[in-house]
């Protein structure tokens, strides 16, 4: 967990990138060429030229005023007139022959005119248009070769590493910026100590781990943790994503791996951080390309570089992934990623610390209790909590408030847990009442089941794709569940289905997700958790998870048909028994359920205390409403 998203914003100086040197020679060459071109084509003529009509030319010819003509191949004439003394005048005229005149030469010879021929001078713009393709071609070739000699992400630099270098010179990211994670920090402090003083370890003959793999769920702060290590040690930090290695061109990924490690050696001591390692480090042999797959070549080069990497160089390799199960075993052996550091989801104390970091950036009202907010947000990662605080600030800004109040956090949490409320959706009265009956069935069971979590809120305001929702929050963080809790959750899933059946003798499509959740939990009870007495504590079936797809698409059947029938029978028995128990509760409290549905239709949303008042139950200590000082909600478990 951390004070921002899993990929933290840049703090301090921006990444130092290689500057682009202006090519002065190319600029001077271009200016000189353009000047010569203009001087040649747009140079001034020694004799001024005036264009006349062809009829004027014939008139001058008839009056014997023309001394000489020059005929150009584009049917134009340059005309030089005689002066009054009979010599050639400096006046120069020009005309265009509009038609084919076969008598022109005869007339000129009769008037004793000097005749000459010449090629017409081409238009400057025509020359430009004719030479433009050549300029573009030569310019493209020059651009290619220039970029081949340059650095960075330029043309033909496919084999160069795209790692971003962060050299923290201002305010650095340190362990103090990462809330909680004491165990992860303790493991990484050795890396910091080695980068600060490697002689302390080498003189004892100790070998610092070459690579440290940060493992955790998305949003827990793995990237920020890696940057904090670099900040604590005061060394350069190279950040590159696993997907940046692989391109469509063969050999590019391996070349980038070599270039990345070469940059690290030149900048030692430093940290090379590879985010989303599973993008390039998945188990070999699972892709379509076999051993010649580009991704596998990249992985092979990474293995070679890490195997030949000397820890004395002062370079530590950090990597992050949320799928360590799909990584190639060769990456995880000693000598490569020697150590795995778990970046876990935050507990209640750590969530409070994260809230304090983010809440320090917004104006808070005095009624905001961050302890209760932390208790009401179990299962949230650091990124989720950052989003929660931001949503609360947005709610307050929409209402033109000067400070963020507790109600804003309540609305923000409901939006994060249940989705955006669709208040403009038009729902008919009949469907609205059926939704109220459905959600009342879910809500009612929370108060009559022994192991169920306290109800936080029930609403018939559409959220996301659901027309209504009943949200429960556990009293405290829990990392494992009992059989009783699971069975009560299955019963609550069937609450809406049973209520519809009781009042309308039929059910709607809105029960689809409830039935799926109930069936899935029952299957896990039988096949994985050993909670079916007739089947015993035996795991049945193995998840088939193709590495190149990265998700489960099938379950490997490693048992007989007879066992499959017994599994189906055990699942059916669990669901029938739980559903019968829930039906008894629903039918015995039909009046309370109908009263609760009526109140939902009139008020749309009810919290725990309001539901207790409607049902005639005394106020409970497990109230989940953030609006009451004594409430203590813990984790979301919405049921549609």
Q: What residues are annotated to the active site?
A: 439
Per-residue tokens: 183: 């165990």
Nearest to 621 by CA among 608, 612, 630: 630
Is-contact 37 131, C-beta < 8 A?
no
Is-contact 54 33, C-beta < 8 A?
no
- Pairing type for strands 164-166 and 114-118 reads unpaired
The set of residues, in sequence order, having a beta carbon less than 8 Å from that of 522 and lying 6+ positions away, is 490, 571, 574, 575
Task: Report the run of H or E that residue 271 belongs to, with start and end.
Answer: strand 270-275
Tell me the backbone φ, ψ of residue 214, rounded to 5 degrees.
Answer: -90, 120
Tell me the backbone φ, ψ of residue 63, rounded to 5 degrees.
Answer: -85, 5
Query: What is the SS3 assignment for 107-134?
Result: HHHHCCCEEEEECCCCCHHHHHHHHHHH
Torsion angle in degrees (nearest 10) through CA of 185, 191, 196, 197? 130
CA distance 390 to 363: 12
DSSP per-residue codes, 240-268:
EEGGGT--SSTTHHHHHHHHHHHHHHHT-
Handedness of CA 182, 183, 189, 191 (dihedral sign): negative
CA distance 174 to 229: 7
C-beta atoms surrounding 102 within 10 Å:
6
Per-residue tokens: 625: 């409403």
Is-contact 467 511, C-beta < 8 A?
no
Rg (alpha carbons) of the chain, rounded to whole number: 41
Per-residue tokens: 365: 């009202």
CA distance 292 to 350: 46
Identify the bridge partners of residue 459 per DSSP, sorted by sequence position: 469, 605
Alpha helices in 111-239 (DSSP H): 124-149, 182-196, 199-202, 222-233
Distance between first and last Cα of the chain: 30
- Pairing type for strands 114-118 and 66-72 reads parallel
């Amino acid at each position: 967990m951390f004070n921002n998203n899993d990929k933290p914003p840049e703090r301090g100086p921006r990444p130092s990138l290689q500057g682009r040197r202006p090519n002065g020679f190319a600029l001077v060459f271009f200016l000189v060429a353009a000047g010569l071109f203009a001087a040649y084509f747009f140079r001034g003529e020694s004799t001024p030229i005036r264009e006349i009509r062809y009829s004027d030319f014939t008139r001058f010819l008839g009056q014997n005023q023309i001394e000489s003509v020059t005929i150009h191949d584009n049917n134009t004439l340059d005309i030089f007139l005689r002066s009054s003394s009979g010599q050639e005048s400096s006046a120069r005229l020009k005309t265009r022959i509009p038609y084919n005149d076969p008598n022109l030469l005869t007339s000129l010879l009769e008037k004793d005119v000097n005749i000459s021929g010449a090629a017409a001078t081409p238009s400057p713009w025509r020359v430009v248009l004719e030479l433009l393709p050549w300029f573009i071609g030569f310019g493209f070739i020059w651009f290619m070769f220039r970029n081949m000699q340059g650095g960075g992400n330029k043309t033909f630099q496919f084999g160069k590493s795209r790692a971003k270098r962060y050299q923290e010179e201002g305010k650095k990211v340190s362990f103090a910026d990462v809330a909680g994670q004491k165990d992860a920090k303790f493991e990484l402090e050795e890396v910091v100590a080695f980068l600060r003083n490697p002689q302390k370890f080498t003189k004892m003959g100790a070998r610092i781990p070459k690579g440290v793999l940060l493992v955790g769920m998305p949003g827990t702060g793995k990237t920020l943790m890696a940057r904090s290590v670099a900040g604590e040690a005061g060394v350069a930090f190279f950040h590159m994503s696993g997907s940046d290695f692989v391109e469509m061109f063969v050999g590019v990924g391996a070349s980038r791996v070599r270039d990345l490690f070469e940059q690290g050696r030149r900048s030692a001591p430093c940290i090379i951080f590879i985010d989303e390692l599973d993008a390039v480090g998945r188990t070999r042999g699972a892709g379509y390309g076999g051993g010649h797959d580009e991704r596998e070549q990249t992985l092979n080069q990474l293995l070679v570089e890490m195997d030949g990497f000397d820890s004395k160089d002062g370079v530590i390799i950090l990597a992050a992934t949320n799928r360590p199960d799909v990584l190639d075993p060769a990456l995880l052996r000693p000598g490569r990623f020697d150590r795995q550091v778990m970046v876990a989801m935050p507990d209640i104390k750590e969530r409070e610390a994260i809230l304090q970091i983010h809440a320090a950036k917004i104006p808070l009202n005095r009624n905001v209790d961050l302890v209760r907010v932390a208790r009401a947000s179990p299962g949230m990662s650091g990124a989720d909590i950052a989003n929660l605080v931001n949503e609360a600030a947005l709610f307050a800004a929409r209402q033109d408030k000067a400070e963020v109040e507790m109600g804003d956090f309540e609305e923000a949490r409901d939006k994060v847990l249940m989705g955006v409320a669709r208040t403009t959706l038009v729902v008919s009265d009949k469907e609205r009442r059926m939704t109220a009956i459905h959600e009342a069935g879910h809500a009612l069971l929370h108060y009559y089941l022994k192991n169920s979590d306290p109800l936080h809120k029930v609403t018939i305001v559409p959220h996301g794709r659901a027309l209504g929702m009943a949200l429960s929050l556990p009293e405290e963080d829990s990392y494992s569940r009992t059989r009783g809790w699971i069975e009560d959750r299955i019963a609550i899933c069937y609450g809406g289905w049973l209520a519809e059946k009781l009042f309308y003798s039929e059910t709607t499509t809105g029960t689809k997700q409830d039935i799926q959740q109930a069936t899935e939990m029952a299957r896990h009870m039988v096949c994985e958790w050993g909670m079916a007495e007739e089947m015993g504590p035996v795991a049945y079936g193995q998840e088939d998870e193709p590495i190149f797809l990265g998700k489960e698409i099938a379950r490997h059947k490693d048992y007989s048909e007879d066992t499959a029938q017994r599994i189906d029978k055990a699942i059916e028995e669990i669901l029938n028994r739980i559903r019968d128990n829930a039906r008894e509760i629903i039918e015995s409290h039909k009046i309370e359920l109908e009263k609760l549905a009526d109140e939902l239709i009139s008020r749309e949303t009810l919290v725990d205390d309001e539901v207790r008042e409607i049902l005639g139950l005394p106020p409970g200590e497990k109230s989940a409403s953030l609006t009451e000082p004594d409430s203590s909600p813990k984790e979301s478990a919405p049921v549609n």
